[in-house]
């Protein structure tokens, strides 16, 4: 059932997620935004095992008073063994802060099939927001390559931007590294891709002590949730000597919801595969010397104040 289209502003999202703490905040931003209609959530293994990602997503949907369906997806990358990020997000992926994260039931239908059916069922209307490893999206593309021409936008939290640092190896970002083969399939698919890399997150979505105090001062169940689920990642950042944790999926979601303030570069990008130091590394043709046509809009900046204003609005 479609909500009334708010003056043509209604944005229809399908969110693919490995529901760790920052994913949950991003999902809350979408569910609580007046111009966004979330059609479905599809879970993928990444930060945590896929079963936990499903439960974390279902908890977040319930917290927001939504009945959006959550579907089970891939429980491992296409070729390599799953490496989770529980050392960052906590064993449950949501900060180990005591939330009841079990016993909720996912919807019928596997993630890749739901992606294909949702996109082909509303050609030109669906934005896919992928905030975990790209296994589900790659499987959907292998099953139905025609989704590449039917999807409206594909916003991906992934990669290291034009020349940013890696966060899981010196050169690779976690989502692209966990399933580099899937990331290559997506990069080469011809879909209208927009990459929001970890460089933009550390640049504009860093939760410093001041930003943390601003969020806590909102004093709502949503701001409390955002702080509580981030407790493990905040501790990890402190121990690593960072001035705070960053929010990669929420800033990617902010770009998906409102790209008007983002700066982008349209470049040819590929993703390196296989096991070794090149795994998941973005191959960015910065000067266009490679001769291949640019295929991706790489976000290079999104103003920090704009992002935090959107995050605060979601926490009101």
Q: How far apart are CA 217 and CA 234, in angstroms?
A: 17
Q: How many residues bind Ca ion (CB under 5 A)?
A: 5
What is the nearest approach in angstroms of Ca ion to the Cβ of residue 72?
Answer: 16
In the region spanning residues 179 to 198, those forming contacts with ligand RIB, defined by CB under 6 A, are: 198
Say which entry of ligand RIB, Ca ion, none residue 85 contacts (CB below 5 to 8 A, set by partner kind). ligand RIB
Q: Identify which of residues 150 and 302 has a Cβ nearer to Ca ion in the complex.
A: 302
Cβ-contact 244, 208 below 8 angstroms: yes
Strand partners, 207: 245
State which of residues 16, 46, 119, 138 lies at the interface with ligand RIB (CB under 6 A).
46
Cβ-contact 247, 226 below 8 angstroms: no
What is the nearest approach in angstroms of ligand RIB to the Cβ of residue 223?
Answer: 19
Instruction: Kindly state whether residue 222 participates in binding ligand RIB, applying the rule CB under 6 A.
Output: no
Strand partners, 11: 36
| DSSP percent split of the chain into helix, strand, coil, nearest 5 | 40, 20, 40
What is the nearest approach in angstroms of Ca ion to the Cβ of residue 40?
Answer: 17
What is the nearest approach in angstroms of ligand RIB to the Cβ of residue 178?
Answer: 8
Q: How far apart are CA 54 and CA 57, in angstroms?
A: 5
x-or-dash string of contact with ligand RIB, 142-181, rule CB under 6 A:
---------------x---------x-----xxx------
Q: Where are the beta strands (DSSP E) in the chain?
A: 11-17, 36-43, 70-71, 126-130, 153-157, 193-196, 206-207, 245-246, 263-271, 282-285, 296-301
State which of residues 31, 129, 131, 315 lies at the interface with ligand RIB (CB under 6 A).
131
State which of residues 11, 13, 15, 22 lies at the interface with ligand RIB (CB under 6 A).
22
Q: How far apart are CA 184 and CA 182, in angstroms?
A: 5
Please identify which residue in the block is written with the tokens 């082909």.
120
Site residues for Ca ion per CB under 5 A = 18, 23, 131-132, 249
Site residues for ligand RIB per CB under 6 A = 18, 20, 22-23, 46-47, 85, 131-132, 157, 167, 173-175, 198, 248-249
């Amino acid at each position: 059932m479609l909500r009334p289209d708010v003056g043509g502003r209604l944005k229809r999202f399908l969110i693919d997620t490995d529901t760790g703490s920052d994913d949950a905040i991003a999902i809350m931003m979408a569910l609580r935004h007046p111009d966004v209609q979330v059609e479905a959530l599809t879970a993928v293994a990444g930060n945590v095992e896929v079963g936990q990602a499903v439960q974390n997503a279902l908890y977040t949907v319930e917290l927001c008073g939504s009945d959006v369906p959550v579907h089970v997806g891939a429980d491992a990358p296409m070729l390599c063994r799953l490496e989770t990020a529980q050392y960052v997000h906590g064993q449950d992926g949501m900060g180990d802060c005591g939330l009841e994260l079990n016993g909720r039931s996912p919807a019928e239908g596997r993630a890749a099939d739901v992606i294909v059916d949702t996109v082909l069922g509303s050609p030109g209307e669906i934005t896919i927001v992928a905030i975990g490893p790209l296994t589900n999206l790659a499987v959907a593309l292998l099953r139905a390559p025609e989704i590449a021409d039917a999807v409206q936008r594909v916003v991906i939290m992934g990669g290291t931007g034009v020349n940013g640092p890696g966060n899981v190896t010196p050169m690779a970002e976690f989502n692209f590294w966990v399933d580099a083969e899937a990331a290559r399939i997506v990069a080469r698919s011809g879909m209208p891709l927009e990459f929001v890399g970890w460089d933009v997150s550390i640049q504009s979505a860093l939760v410093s002590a001041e930003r943390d105090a601003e969020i806590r001062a909102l004093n709502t169940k949503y701001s409390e949730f955002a702080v509580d689920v981030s407790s493990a990642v905040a501790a990890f950042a402190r121990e690593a000597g960072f001035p705070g944790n960053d929010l990669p999926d929420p800033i990617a979601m902010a770009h998906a919801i409102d790209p008007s303030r983002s700066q982008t570069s349209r470049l040819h990008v590929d993703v390196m595969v296989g096991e070794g130091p090149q795994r998941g590394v973005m191959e960015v043709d910065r000067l266009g010397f490679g001769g291949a046509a640019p295929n991706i809009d790489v976000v290079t900046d999104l103003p920090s104040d704009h992002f935090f204003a959107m995050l605060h609005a979601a926490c009101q």
